[in-house]
Amino acid sequence: MTAQPYFSSAERIGKLMTIAASWLDTPYVQSGAVKGCGVSCHRLAAAVLSEAGVAMDDVPERGDTGRRQFAQAMRGWLESRPARFAPVGPDEPLCPGDILLCDFGIGHIALYLGGEQRAVLQVLLRGATHLASLLDPQLQGRVRAAWRPLEGGCDGQ
C-alpha cells in the first residue's frame, strides 16, 4: 500500500497556509528558527511543516557547511526517510507542503504552497520570509527536486 500525502485534506492545507502566513517577514538568519526574529531556508520549511503536524524533529543543522553542500545533505536526509517523505517525480504536479530543492547557483530550500499563483514560501540571504511564485521567471526552472510529506511520517494532528 502506498502512503498517502499528509496535506490531502482542505483542513490540513488551510492550517498549512495559516502557519506559513505567520512566518512572513521573518528575516534571514543562518540556521535560525525563531518566528519573527530569524530563520534560514531549511529551518523555515522544517518549522512550518512541524507546526502543521509533520515529524521534522531531526532536521540536520547547517553549521559551517556551504549552502550547495548543505542542500545535498538535506537531499540525503529526505531520501533516507522513505516512510516520512516521497520524492516527487519530474512529471508529477507539486502539492501543498512539498519541500523544494532549488538551485540559484547555490543550494536553496523552499516550501510549496500551491494555488493559482503556484505560491512558494521562502527566505533568501539578506531578505525576509516572503511568498514567491513558480510562475516568476526568476524561479522557473530552478526546482531541482521535491519531496512530499506522507501520512505515515506525521504525528496525526
Tens-place pLDDT, residues 4-38: 889 989 999 999 999 999 999 999 998 888 999 99
- DSSP 3-state of 28: strand
CA distance 149 to 83: 9
The model carries a pTM of 0.89
pLDDT score of 155: 46
pLDDT digits (tens, 9 = 90+) for 135-155: 998 887 888 899 999 986 554
In contact, 139 and 39? CB cutoff 8 Å: no
**All domains in the chain, ordered by first residue:** 10-150 (3.90.1720.10)
Q: Residue 146 is inside which H or E element, if any?
A: strand 143-149
In sequence order, which ranges of 23-144 are alpha helices (DSSP H)? 41-51, 67-79
Give the whole-angstrom CA distance, residue 120 versus residue 113: 5
Please tell me the least confidently modeled range out of 36-50, 56-70, 114-128, 139-153: 56-70
Selection from 51, 33, 44 nearest residue 124 by Cα: 44
